[in-house]
Amino acid sequence: MPDPFLITIVGPTAIGKTALGIKLAQHFDTEILSADSRQFFKEMKIGTAVPEEEELQAAPHHFIQHISVEEEYSVGDFERDAIAKLEELFQRKKVVVMVGGSGLYVKSILEGLDYFPEVDPQIRADLNNESLENLQRKLANFDPDYYQKVDAENPHRLIRALEICIGTGKTYSSFLNRKKEPRNFRSIQIGLTAEREKIYERINLRVDKMMETGLPEEAKKLFPKRHLNALNTVGYKELFLHLEGKISEEEAVAEIKKNTRRFAKRQLTWFKKDTAIAWFKNTTPPEEIIAYAEKQIKDSSQ
């Protein structure tokens, strides 16, 4: 039997990945794995732009709202669970689609993760209480090499690296780029993009829609749990500041838009480094992208 194919759709937030993923899944009569780490959590529906009910019914989806914000769920957990799900799906499907903008989570499936030892969970709990500035300063001190590469505005990445540094007494960098398990599937990567102004326009419209469809109420329900790692994310942390009386709702919305634009920029920076990705404008007809995927499969199978 020839190797099956995993078609992965990546790109910045609000670019149209969900709609394209559904088109591809319907064409290949297959299922979708979500590699969007913010959409894993049951309680975070509106602020993470979880696909609408009709979209979820248009093609079977996996790893959407499958855990609680109360649970710790690492990229390593996702790699283990998603690879097991792929093995199951490839028993009956020659193609599976993966959709997501979380670069590290996509990479974990396509390439595998570096091995990191278990460390005392109290280290992470303590780091969660530190300011972004403190985290940046500590990582620059513990592991200057990795600090030059990491997204220093992302507290999750800083905490992950620091807990390894503190828990092992070694640099985070020393655990990177070790030999990984080979994958038993072939990969086709498709990137969606647009002019920066168009991306920003789509982001602004999405945030406005979230506010109209209940994001303030969703944030209010989650406010008592705001200390949890899963909720330290764009869309919620800004509204928590509003609920604490530190900024107005109008200021919170402006901050959400600004921080989402920054997030999209970081996503593009990450994915643009990968030369295996074939980039398409988000206005490209889906049929053209489907034809590209079909050709890749045909050419690889000859």
11 is in an annotated binding site: yes
The reply to whether 14 sits in an annotated binding site is: yes
Distances (CA, A) of 156 to 128, 228, 232, 278, 294: 9, 12, 8, 29, 37
Q: Which residues of 91-122 are buried (b: 16+ CB within 10 A; e: fewer)?
A: eebbbbbbbbbbbbbbbbbbebbeebeeeeee
Burial track 22-61 (b if 16+ CB lie within 10 A, e otherwise): bbbbebbebbbbbbbbbbbbebbbbbbbbbeeeebebbeb
Place of tokens 């959409």: 39
Do the Cβ atoms of 119 and 166 come closer than 8 Å?
yes
End-to-end CA distance of the chain: 13
**Both tokens of residue 14?**
């609000």
Q: Which residue has the tokens 């749990």?
A: 225
The answer to whether 18 is a known ligand-binding residue is: yes
Amino acid identity, residue 192? L
- Within 10 angstroms of residue 73's Cβ, the number of other Cβ atoms is 18
Is 16 labelled a binding residue?
yes
Q: Is 191 annotated as a binding residue?
A: no
- Are 21 and 9 a contacting pair, CB within 8 Å? yes
> What residues are designated binding site for ATP?
11-18
Extract the annotated binding site. Answer: 11-18
Binding positions for substrate are 13-18
